[in-house]
């Protein structure tokens, strides 16, 4: 459904209700009062649902159906990433719900792409957003964070994305490995260089022995700092001899999500190529803490796709 058709449908509903400003009036309610109204609506609707209705909806509801990836295949890939994360990172058991509006406020994600709840929450769609909130909470004391060490957070979370993709292979819900590194700006661009190499090394360690090849597609700012980052990544790839690097000069300036540098990680296995990970530097903790010296690198890897690929190519021990 397009945005135009959604708007047209909304106008028809509002006209039928006979209250032209119903959306604005509801949106202006305090969060607790809006939840009270929506919960009562949900109770009224749920009271009329029969078991046969639930079963019928389950068969067709894209948000509720199980994933196509076998559990053991997914679990094996999760273990690969758990083992690849440095011991100095803190693993976080994230909630399946996120604070309402976090994906829009930090990542400029349309609310149509997340699943909102009747309470002041939304279903998690990106674990790095929650990890960024956790990092900002840990670094909230302005006096302490000036001398604080770097903070690293990792998680594996099942997320839901509400947007409709044209590809039948697209997942509605899937597991994401998320990694964030929070710190301060440092002389000689040291935070950016060290954290970027650390993130890339995690992806290399996780799957280098299970895939045929790994490629980093890097996009950096057109300045000396960007050149320094590109040089550091090229040096890292030359030393590992298992990872190739290419440059996408147009990606960083064409988007508003990342700052200074961003990357994608692609892997090849069994004659096919798939995107493994995406990451880059953001200004999230800078904005959350209102501190221009704060730095944050985020990255994430969808795990369902590599689990399926490795299973099909014999890289997974999943047998059924």
Q: Which of 27, 23, 31 is nearest to 121 (CA)?
A: 31
Same domain, 131 and 272: yes
Residue 301 has pLDDT above 80, yes or no: yes
Report which DSSP code applies to 17: H
In a domain, 165, yes or no: yes
Alpha helices in 47-189 (DSSP H): 51-60, 71-84, 102-107, 127-138, 142-145
In a domain, 57, yes or no: no
Please give the pLDDT value at position 238.
94
pTM of the entire predicted model: 0.89
Residue 314 has pLDDT above 80, yes or no: no
pLDDT in tens, 285-300: 999 999 999 999 999 9
Mean pLDDT of the chain: 91
Same domain, 140 and 271: yes
Same domain, 75 and 34: no
Please report the sign of the dihedral spanned by the C-alpha atoms of residue 292, residue 296, residue 297, residue 300: negative
In a domain, 292, yes or no: yes
Alpha carbons 169 and 167: distance in angstroms, whole number: 5
Q: How confident is the model at residue 320 (pLDDT cuts 50, 70, 90)?
A: very low
Average pLDDT (194-217) is: 96
- For 91, the domain range is 71-312
Please give the pLDDT value at position 110.
87
Q: How confident is the model at residue 318 (pLDDT cuts 50, 70, 90)?
A: very low
Please give the pLDDT value at position 168.
61
In a domain, 62, yes or no: no
CA-to-CA dists, residue 282 to 164, 169, 285, angstroms:
26, 29, 8
Interior CA angle at 35 toward 30 and 38, to 5°?
125
CA-to-CA dists, residue 4 to 11, 20, 79, 113, 114, angstroms:
11, 18, 44, 16, 18
Please give the pLDDT value at position 313.
78
Report which DSSP code applies to 55: H
Same domain, 32 and 105: no
pLDDT in tens, 122-171: 999 999 999 999 999 999 998 888 887 899 999 999 999 887 766 666 78
Same domain, 35 and 75: no
Average pLDDT (87-100) is: 96
Residue 73 near residue 311 (C-beta atoms within 8 A): yes
In a domain, 174, yes or no: yes
pLDDT in tens, 94-113: 999 999 999 999 998 888 88
Q: Which of 265, 268, 272, 271 is nearest to 302 (CA)?
A: 265
Alpha carbons 314 and 307: distance in angstroms, whole number: 11
- The region of weakest confidence among 132-136, 165-169, 202-206, 220-224 is 165-169
Helix (H), strand (E) at residue 6: helix 3-17
Q: Which of 150, 107, 146 is nearest to 130 (CA)?
A: 107
Same domain, 216 and 168: yes
Same domain, 9 and 150: no
Residue 77 has pLDDT above 80, yes or no: yes
Strand ranges in the chain using DSSP code E only, listed in sequence order: 90-91, 97-99, 121-123, 151-160, 173-184, 213-220, 243-247, 259-269, 272-282, 294-302
Domain endpoint, select from 33, 48, 63: 48
Average pLDDT (70-91) is: 96
Same domain, 28 and 161: no
How many residues are recorded in the chain? 320
- Would you state the structure tokens that stand for residue 231, as one six-digit string? 């040089």
In a domain, 97, yes or no: yes
Torsion of CA 42, 97, 107, 282, to 10 degrees: 170
Residue 147 near residue 183 (C-beta atoms within 8 A): no
Residue 265 near residue 301 (C-beta atoms within 8 A): yes
Please give the pLDDT value at position 1.
55
Same domain, 78 and 40: no
Residue 41 has pLDDT above 50, yes or no: yes
Q: How confident is the model at residue 279 (pLDDT cuts 50, 70, 90)?
A: very high
**Residue 185: Cβ-neighbour burial (10 angstroms; 0-12, 13-18, 19+):** middle
Average pLDDT (167-181) is: 88
Same domain, 194 and 295: yes
**Residue 208: Cβ-neighbour burial (10 angstroms; 0-12, 13-18, 19+):** middle
- The region of weakest confidence among 18-22, 77-81, 166-170, 221-225 is 166-170
Residue 207 has pLDDT above 70, yes or no: yes
In a domain, 98, yes or no: yes
Alpha carbons 96 and 112: distance in angstroms, whole number: 18
Residue 102 near residue 130 (C-beta atoms within 8 A): yes
In a domain, 59, yes or no: no
Residue 319 has pLDDT above 50, yes or no: no
What's the CATH code of the domain at 287? Answer: 3.30.930.10
Same domain, 21 and 118: no
Residue 230 has pLDDT above 50, yes or no: yes
Same domain, 42 and 77: no
- Would you state the structure tokens that stand for residue 78, as one six-digit string? 């999760």
Task: Report how many domains make up the chain.
Answer: 2
């Amino acid at each position: 459904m397009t945005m135009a058709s959604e708007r047209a449908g909304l106008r028809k509903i509002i006209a039928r209700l006979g209250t032209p400003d119903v959306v604005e009036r509801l949106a202006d309610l305090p969060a607790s009062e809006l939840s009270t109204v929506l919960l009562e609506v949900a109770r009224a609707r749920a009271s009329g649902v029969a078991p046969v209705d639930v079963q019928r909806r389950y068969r067709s509801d894209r948000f509720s159906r199980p994933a196509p990836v076998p559990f053991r295949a997914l679990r094996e890939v999760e273990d690969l990433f758990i083992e690849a994360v440095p011991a100095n990172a803190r693993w976080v058991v994230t909630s399946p719900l996120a604070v309402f509006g976090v994906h829009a406020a930090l990542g400029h994600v349309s609310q149509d792409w997340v699943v909102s709840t009747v309470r002041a929450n939304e279903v998690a769609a990106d674990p790095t957003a929650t990890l960024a909130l956790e990092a900002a909470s840990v670094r909230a004391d302005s006096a302490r964070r000036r001398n604080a060490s770097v903070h690293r957070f990792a998680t594996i979370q099942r997320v839901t994305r509400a947007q409709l993709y044209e590809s039948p292979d697209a997942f509605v819900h899937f597991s994401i490995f998320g990694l964030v590194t929070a710190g301060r700006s440092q002389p000689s661009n040291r935070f950016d260089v060290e954290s970027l190499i650390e993130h890339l090394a995690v992806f290399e360690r996780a799957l280098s022995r299970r895939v045929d090849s790994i490629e980093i597609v890097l996009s950096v700012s057109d300045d000396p700092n960007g050149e320094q980052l590109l040089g550091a990544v090229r040096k890292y790839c030359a030393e590992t001899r298992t990872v190739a690097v290419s440059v996408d000069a147009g990606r960083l300036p064409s988007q508003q999500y990342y700052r200074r540098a961003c990357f994608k990680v692609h892997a090849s296995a069994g004659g096919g190529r798939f995107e493994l990970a995406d990451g880059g530097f953001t200004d999230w903790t800078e904005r959350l803490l209102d501190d221009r010296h704060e730095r944050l690198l985020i990255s994430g890897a969808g795990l369902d796709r590599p689990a399926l690929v490795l299973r099909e190519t014999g890289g997974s021990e999943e047998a059924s």
